[in-house]
Chains A and B, each alone.
Chain A
Amino acid sequence: MSRSLVAIRGVSQRFGVDGATVTALDTIDLEIPDGQFVAVVGPSGCGKSTLLSLVAGLRLPTSGSVRCDGEPITGPMPRKVGMIFQEANLLPWLSAIDNVAFPLKLRRVAKPERLAAARRMLELTGLAGFESRLPHELSGGMKQRVSIARGLVQNPAVLLMDEPFASLDEQTRMVLGDELLRIWSETKKTVLFVTHSLNEAVYLADRVIVLSARPGRVVDDVAVDLPRPRGFAMTGSEQFAVLKDRIWQHIKSAERP
């Protein structure tokens, strides 16, 4: 196994809610090697998104440490970590290309340079020709492609995806899943992908981390040894069903009141 790019060690996260303390994550240990595609699943409210926001540097863990590329994460590290949300969250007053170039603008990269980089990313995500469109002129799937291009534009080592396809219809979701795998195989990013969909998790990932209901703990770490490139036919295979069932057993017991 190659060196771990993201190292989550003994991480707990507690929140104060109405005077009471809620433990969202309980001593999570997770080593993610460079280039691995990791899906995180778990029952609602298990702290999946909290885990991502820790790696994004949007909050600090109550205890434990999160490192990226050996460096402790104390705040957002936009050059190392790109993030894609459930909603595309594009700036509605900027064209597609300016949205993709936005992280570079924040870093004061010169305009021709950042537009060139953004144009390459739009090509990579299959949006060549849509550079000057405003977000409201794009479909939901296209907006999410722009958002992925924006996440990749600084060439970060890690891509965090927080249920990125959850607001899309089934067909768009499947197409974008395959697109994501193509982009991933071309760019060799380390992906941390939170999802509610077991199909999506098994289909996309090398490895599925299963979290328990609150307080979130790692209850299973499933290696997905399906061959790559993945294809739709695999979703009907026995191997696929076995993996999905193993994960489902954890979730089912946790979701039961």
Chain B
Amino acid sequence: MRRHERLIVAAAVLGLFALWEVLARLGRIDPTLAPAPTTIVGALARLAARPEVRASLAVTGWEVLAAFLIALPTGLFLGFLLAEVPVLGALVRPLVNFLFGVPKSIFLPVFILVFGVSIPQKIAFAVFTTVFVLILGGIAAVQSVPRELVLVSRVYGASRAQIVREIYLPAMAPILLESARLGMVFNITAVLLCEIYGARDGIGYRIAAWGENLQMPQLYAALVIVAAAAVAINEVLRAIETRLGAWRQRA
């Protein structure tokens, strides 16, 4: 975006919040449902100072991280396997495609029955939710490797290991990172869904509780925290993706 475009966007966002503030203070919108932005900022500062809120954020953070560290290698490995072993691919890919389209939330009660309301249950459900997009990403990454570059490398005497390192990895990197980024969105959503649905801790659990008690400033403040964290993770992954995928830009 060019500089003046950024300014316009920033001005529009600020204008929206100003309008919200004014309408809330004038009582034109229900301050219980939509408290003024300044009220939310105040709540945000108080929440951030409370140790039990910080602990909840940490719990959620760990669940997200653990699920991602399990789902990422598992999903990509399965994807590579399905792409490189044609028989396996032909058998399993229709199933993966089918399950990818099914909303995973309907399986949440099953996970609670199997694991109980627990941290392992949240991690397991998040892995289950995330792994399909990573499997499909792994398949797409392998398929994006240009066969003719493999041929060229063979002509120039590349070993199998060199073909993997010099051709497969760089060619797949942008799609792998893109899949990781999408997977992270699914992953965070799954963990929060678990916490909101039934949990003893975690920021999702607190959001649900504040919602039920109509503590709107706290609710919105928590939303701001979660959104900021999710956007930050997404943007970091996107920045790496853009850097490693600069060569993909067409002339």
Binding site for B on A (CB under 8 A): 56-58, 76-79, 81, 83, 85, 87, 89, 91-93, 102-103, 105-107, 134-137, 150
Contacts and interface: CB of A to CB of B under 8 A. Distances in A.
A103 B156 CA distance: 5
A70 B162 CA distance: 29
Contact of A106 (B146, B156, B246, B251): B156
Given A91-B149, A106-B153, A135-B247, 13 more contacts: A57-B155, A58-B151, A76-B155, A87-B148, A89-B149, A91-B167, A93-B171, A93-B247, A102-B166, A103-B157, A105-B166, A134-B246, A136-B251
A85 B247 contact: no
B170 A58 contact: no
B154 interface: yes
Given A56-B155, A76-B156, A85 B166 contact: no
A59 to B, nearest CB: 11
Given A89-B149, A91-B167, A136 B250 contact: yes
Interface of B: 146, 148-149, 151-158, 162, 166-167, 170-171, 246-251
B161 to A, nearest CB: 11
Contacts of B153: 106
Nearest to B170: A93
Contacts, number: 56
Q: Which of A57, A76, A87, A135 has the most CB of B within 10 A?
A: A76
A241 B247 CA distance: 45
Contacts of A91: 149, 166-167, 170
Contact of B157 (A76, A85, A136, A150): A76
Contacts of B151: 58, 85, 89
A92 B248 contact: yes
Contact of A76 (B154, B171, B250): B154
Contacts of B171: 93
Max count, chain B CB within 10 A of own CB: residue among A92, A102, A137, A150: A92
Contacts of A87: 148
Contacts of A107: 157
B241 to A, nearest CB: 13
Nearest to B163: A106
14 contacts: A58-B151, A58-B154, A77-B157, A83-B152, A85-B148, A89-B146, A89-B151, A91-B149, A91-B166, A92-B247, A106-B162, A134-B246, A136-B249, A137-B251
A168 to B, nearest CB: 16
A92 B145 CA distance: 11
A81 B156 CA distance: 9
A116 to B, nearest CB: 18
- Which 9 pairs, one residue from A and one from B, show the smallest C-beta to C-beta distance? A78-B157, A103-B156, A93-B247, A136-B251, A92-B247, A83-B155, A78-B156, A89-B152, A93-B170
A141 B250 CA distance: 17
A205 B49 CA distance: 81
Given A76-B157, A78-B157, A106-B166, A85 B152 contact: yes
A230 to B, nearest CB: 28
A75 B230 CA distance: 51
Contacts of A105: 166
A46 B166 CA distance: 34
A102 B156 contact: yes
A83 B154 CA distance: 11
A3 B248 CA distance: 47
Nearest to B154: A76
Nearest to B173: A93
A160 to B, nearest CB: 9
A69 B148 CA distance: 27
B158 A89 contact: no
